[in-house]
Amino acid sequence: MKKEQTDTCVKVLKVKLKPTKEQAAELTRLSKEYIYHANQLVQQAVSDG
């Protein structure tokens, strides 16, 4: 069986966000909420084995 060759091209673009105070507060809130839910999922997975 012949292995297919795939060409992958990765480009990196640096972007600096300049959110307003309100947007920064919302980003912080969303980040904390995301981390909370991710931790809940991990905890559930560990307890379920």
Is-contact 19 27, C-beta < 8 A?
A: yes
pLDDT number for residue 2: 64
Q: What is the pLDDT of residue 16?
A: 94
Give the pLDDT of residue 21: 97
Express each pLDDT in 1-49 by its tens digit.
666 777 889 999 999 989 999 999 999 999 999 999 999 999 999 999 8
Report the pLDDT value the prediction gives residue 23, as an integer from 0 to 100: 97
| pTM for the full predicted model | 0.61
pLDDT at 6: 76
Rounded to whole angstroms, the Cα distance separating 49 from 41 reads 12
